[in-house]
Amino acid sequence: MRFAQFIYDGVEPVELAIYGVLSMARRIAPEIAMFTVAPHAGVVELANGLRVLADHAMSDCPAADVLIVCGGPGWSREAANPATLEFLRAFRPRMALASVCTGGMILAATGLLDGRRATTKQAGFEHEPSPLALMREKHPAIQVLEARLVDEGSVVTGGGVTLCIDTTLHLLRRFVGEDVAVRTARAMAYSHAWEANRLALTEWVAA
């Protein structure tokens, strides 16, 4: 089971938790593999200066079962980047294409969310517009929901920042198994938070 995480300059460092969750899960299910992909391989500068190394460029991205698109202040640049949009349109993960936080805005710009339910980050800092409101305004073909997670089968969108953990656990549950997801949450001391989020049914939509 192979997960790809799409990163770019300006991703929020918190969203590296996706890789962290998968790393913990791999200790339970060694068949899990993961890698990062970016517009260019090598150094990617995340928000506020943290630098990480992307394993692959979009041009040489290997196949994956799930591709997860991250969010962060750099989302608006990537949502207007023809190469990024074409990569996401052309890439065919075997099981699901997913986003977290404002990664949903990048997916929206590809047109892949048209005709579907979707969510993204609901609120920003005081001086920032709501990404959820922007999605409604700019992409009227999407049924935008105020949700922690929206699962449309082959496309999964998660809400803001720390919900990248919940979204990754949800993907593990769907594609690797309930036991692996539950044991991973327990090992991360995240079981109570995950259960509380899942029980907030008005904010959790799953196909």
| Strands (E) located in 39-92 | 42-45, 51-54, 56-57, 66-69
Q: What is the mean pLDDT of residues 49-78?
A: 97
Q: In what order do the strands lie in the sheet with 155-158?
A: 56-57, 33-38, 2-6, 66-69, 96-99, 155-158, 149-151, 204-206
Q: What is the mean pLDDT of the chain?
A: 94
* Structure confidence at residue 160 as a pLDDT band (50, 70, 90): confident
CATH number for the domain formed by residue range(s) 2-206: 3.40.50.880
Per the CB < 8 A criterion, the answer to whether 17 and 54 are in contact is no
For 75-89, the pLDDT digits (tens) are 999 999 999 999 999
pLDDT attached to residue 200 = 64
Q: What is the DSSP string of 93-116?
A: -SSEEEE-TTHHHHHHHHTTTTTS
**Could you tell me the CA-to-CA distances from 64 to 29, 42, 76 in Å, in that order?**
17, 19, 25
- Least confident span in 52-66, 118-132, 154-168: 118-132
DSSP state of 189: T
Q: Is the pLDDT of residue 123 over 90?
A: no
For 192-207, the pLDDT digits (tens) are 998 887 766 445 565 5
* Nearest in space to 112 (alpha carbons), one of 87, 89, 146, 139: 89
* Nearest in space to 156 (alpha carbons), one of 62, 36, 65, 22: 65
pLDDT attached to residue 140 = 98
Distance, in Å, from the CA atom of 166 to the CA atom of 95, rounded to the nearest integer, reads 18
User: Could you give the 3-state DSSP secondary structure of residue 38?
Assistant: strand
**Domain locations along the chain:** 2-206
* Structure confidence at residue 61 as a pLDDT band (50, 70, 90): very high
pLDDT attached to residue 97 = 98
Q: Is the pLDDT of residue 125 over 80?
A: no
| High-pLDDT (> 70) share of the chain, % | 96
